Amino acid sequence: MLYPDYTETGYVYHVAPITDLDKILKKGIKYDDKNTYLSKYLEFHKYIDSFKPDYIPDWVIREKAVFSSMNFHNNHCWHSHTVIMTVKINPDKCWIANENLANKLYEPFILKDTIGFECAYDYLKLNGESTLRDYWDTSVSFNDNLEIRKDKEAGYDAEVLIFHDISPEDIKPLFIVSDHHIMSIEQWNDFFSRGTKNGNR
């Protein structure tokens, strides 16, 4: 894995667009405080929540989660112009699920009503419920996962659903992802400091 494990650090990893970083460092992180929440994810979260079994605790509501990761593989594909940060969590208020299963349905869900993509609607009708039953059936509490480590199983891309706000003092930026490389915060500041002295990047 790419970064130190939670058992060593007590932190999980959160990724956000650099356009959100100033607000994050000043006000922390809430589940609905990003522009993309309404435009890209809310209806998808509601769709997944609609298949949540009764035995999953009432407080586990994907629609109201801040999303983070236990870790990343060395070959992880990063989005440009994002920041990777550590966040401190209350493990009693977190849940673990397999993001790979949710991702199988995201594009069909978004495109289901788009002309020329009618197969997306049919795919959801055929596969949506069974995939999301599997998503919830393979999910566990954060604390239980520390015992069984589903996040270390092949094919299980563990997303951490955090059900509390994260305050600024519990957030530490680690890396900035640019178009062509990833730089630590120190490297980024050094690079652009040299650019101000030389007149260019």
pLDDT of residue 180: 67
Phi, psi of 61 (to 5 degrees): -130, 105
**Both structure tokens of 65:** 């989660």
pLDDT of residue 174: 94
Question: For residues 187 and 181, what is the distance between their CA atoms, to the nearest angstrom?
Answer: 11
- Report the percentage of the chain scoring pLDDT > 90: 77
Backbone φ and ψ for 10, nearest 5 degrees, come out as 75, 15
Q: Enumerate the domain spans of the chain.
A: 6-198
pLDDT values of the chain reduced to their tens digit, one per residue, 201 residues: 678 899 999 999 999 999 999 999 999 999 998 877 878 899 999 999 999 999 999 999 999 999 999 998 777 677 789 999 999 999 999 999 999 999 999 999 999 999 999 999 999 999 999 999 999 999 999 999 999 999 999 999 999 999 999 999 999 999 999 876 788 999 988 887 776 555 554
Per residue in 30-67, pLDDT tens? 999 887 787 889 999 999 999 999 999 999 999 999 99
